[in-house]
Amino acid sequence: MEGFDPASSFGPEVATHYDDHPRGDEEAAVAFLLEYARGRRALEFAIGTGRIALPLAAKGIQVDGIELSTHMVERLRTRPGGDQINVTIGDMSVATTGHRYGLVYLVFNTIFNLLTVDDQIHCFENAARHLAADGYFVVEAAVPHAWITPGKTDYVHAEHVGMKTVVLDVARYDPVTQLLDENHLCLTTGGITMNPIVCRLITPGEMDLMARIAGMQLIERFASWQRTAFDAHSSAHISVYGRATMS
C-alpha cells in the first residue's frame, strides 16, 4: 500500500481506542495459555495494550512483552497491573529480552503484520531463541481462505450500516506477494476516517515449515481457544509448537 508504514500503523489514535471493543475470547485464551505456561514465565510477542497479558498475569504468571509501538505500551501502562509488565520495545522478529520462557505466544493474526517471508521466519526463530528446552510457542491466526475467496483479489464488505454511520472494509489481495492491502473506512455525517493496514497472509502449513526452519515442530492444532477440532472448514487456528527434539 503506497505510503503505508507498518512501524507507525499503531499510533496514538489506534492505541487510545484499541480496548474499546474487546473480542470476547480473552477468558478462553487465558485458560488455554495457562495450561502451556504451567506456572512458568511467559513472553508475549506484540503485547499491545495487554488484552491477553494482563488477565494472564492476574492468574499468577509472570508475563513479559515485546512491542514495536510505544503508544500501545503507554496505553498498557495506564491499565490496572500494566506497570508490572516488563516490555521490551522493538520488532518481535529480532528483539530479545535476554530470558528464556516456558511459553512464548503470539495472538490475533499478528504474525501477518510481518510483511516478508524472511521476517516471518525470523519471528519463529526469535521465538525458538526465547524458549526453554521444554517450552511452547503458541500462535493464533486466521486461515487465509476465511478472508480471501480463491480467484478473487479484491472485495468491499459492509461492516456496519447505520443511520449516521457506515463502516466499510475495502481490500485488495496480491497472491504473488501474499500481501493484503486493507482499509477500514468510517463514513459519518461529520466526515470520513480511514484505518489502513497491510498483512501478509500465510497458511498453517507455511507456519509449520517456518517452525521447522527454526528448529521447532507442530505439537497440537485447534480451531479455537476452546480446543475445537481443526478441519478444512475452520476459519482460524491455534497452533502449538515445541522444540523438534521433543517427543
What is the CATH classification number for the domain harbouring 87?
3.40.50.150
Together in a domain, 38 and 78: yes
**Number of compact structural domains in the chain:** 2
User: pLDDT tens, 49-99?
Assistant: 999 999 999 999 999 999 999 999 999 999 999 999 999 999 999 999 999
- Kindly indicate the confidence band of residue 177, based on its pLDDT and cuts at 50, 70 and 90: very high
User: What pLDDT, on the 0 to 100 scale, is given for residue 22?
Assistant: 74
- Kindly indicate the confidence band of residue 24, based on its pLDDT and cuts at 50, 70 and 90: confident
Domain that holds residue 236: 6-145+202-243
Together in a domain, 101 and 189: no
pTM confidence score: 0.92
User: What pLDDT, on the 0 to 100 scale, is given for residue 23?
Assistant: 73
Q: Which residue has the higher pLDDT, 228 or 6?
A: 228
Together in a domain, 30 and 84: yes
Query: Would you list the DSSP string of 90-151?
Result: S-TTT---S--EEEEEE-TTGGGGS-SHHHHHHHHHHHHHHEEEEEEEEEEEE-GGGTS-TT
Together in a domain, 194 and 97: no
What CATH number is associated with residue 176? 2.20.25.570
pLDDT of 161 higher than 60: yes
What does the alpha-carbon distance between residue 99 and residue 107 come to, in Å, rounded to a whole number? 20
The answer as to whether 1 is a domain residue is no
Together in a domain, 133 and 162: no
